Amino acid sequence: MCATCGCSGSTILEDHEHGHEHGHEHGPGHSHPETRTVTLEQAVLARNDGLAEINRKWLAERGILAVNLMSSPGAGKTTLLERTIRELGAELRVSVVEGDQETVLDADRIRATGAPAVQINTGSGCHLDAQMLAGGLQTLDPPDNSVVLIENVGNLVCPALFDLGEQARVVITSVTEGAEKPRKYPQMFRAADLVLLNKTDLLPYVDFDVDSFLEGARRANPGVEVLQLSATTGDGIDGWYGWLRARLP
């Protein structure tokens, strides 16, 4: 649309040589710029998706299983990783990519278990993306036929949109957060290949309706597998280990 006179029409407008068929007169002092409309039909996240495919190929060539762990802050991702590495690290040769806005606290916790870890600080960013993971993998240099666990930024919204090139996505919720999480954040649960319900040792002390949680998860992602466990006590942890082993290349 012409910002001066408001006329509209074809996308290529001559410099007002169009004889004013559109039924009004222009003053002499302006002209329409010539423009061209280009159809792109391009995914907004095409660049990230392309980088994610490169990561996926890089991982597959090395026989590395990469799992993207996503949750709200405080759901127990790092505690789950610590236990998994202590009990399974030698068998699976686990290394970790840690994503947080600030600090290297989580990477320090992981290194204390003996596993290699690289910390990615996203600054104001609320999620990891494929380029960040590529950088993390270059630094980490995980061995062939190993497992890379990616702890995404604690956030139940943004990480769901960004493919990293991982083979599987795991969403973790703790019973202290409330059973309505799948209904409030269906995008995240829809993106999950596995849902872990953590801190089940606290169920006697909190008002958490497990059936309601499972129904919410089913609505957001029909057929998604849900495992209940406590990363602190180890109750139910074997289901998680079995799931991981079953996905090894």
Partner 1 sequence: MHEMAITQSVIQAVCERMGDAPVQRVCLEIGTLSGVVADSVRFCFDLVTAGTTLEGASLEIIQPTGRARCRDCGAEFELNDLLVLCECGSANRELLAGEELKIREVEVLV
> Which residues, other chains included, contact 234 with Cβ-Cβ below 8 Å and sequence gap of 6+?
83, 87
Closest approach, Cβ 89 to partner 1, in A, equals 32
Interaction between residue 5 and partner 1 (CB under 8 A): no
Q: Tell me, what amino acid is at 83?
A: R
Q: How far is CA 91 from CA 84, 147, 155, 245, in A?
A: 11, 10, 30, 10
Distance in Å, CB of 48 to partner 1, minimum:
7
Q: What are the beta bridge partners of residue 173?
A: 197
Identify which range of 27-35, 98-106, 193-201, 236-244 contacts partner 1 by CB under 8 A: 27-35
Cα–chain-centroid distance for residue 15? 49
- Position 129 contacts partner 1 (CB under 8 A): yes
Residues near partner 1 (CB under 8 A), total: 37
Distance between CA atoms of residues 220 and 154, nearest Å = 20
Does position 10 bind partner 1 by CB under 8 A? Answer: no
User: Beta strand 117-121 with 147-151: parallel, antiparallel or unpaired?
Assistant: unpaired
126 binds partner 1 (CB under 8 A): yes
From residue 76, alpha-carbon distances to 15, 28, 62, 138 in Å are 64, 69, 29, 27
Which residue, 43 or 54, is less far from partner 1 as judged by CB?
43
Type and span of the H or E element at 168: strand 168-174
Is 57 a binder of partner 1 (CB under 8 A)?
no
Residue 244 dihedral angles phi and psi, to the nearest 5°: -65, -50
Q: Which of 7, 88, 158, 202 binds partner 1 (CB under 8 A)?
A: 158
Question: Mask 209-228, x = binds partner 1 (CB under 8 A)?
Answer: -------x-xxx-xx-----
User: Considering the complex, what minimum distance in angstroms separates the CB of residue 171 from partner 1?
Assistant: 14
Which positions lie near partner 1, rule CB under 8 A?
A: 11-12, 33-48, 125-127, 129, 157-158, 160-162, 183, 186-187, 190, 216, 218-220, 222-223
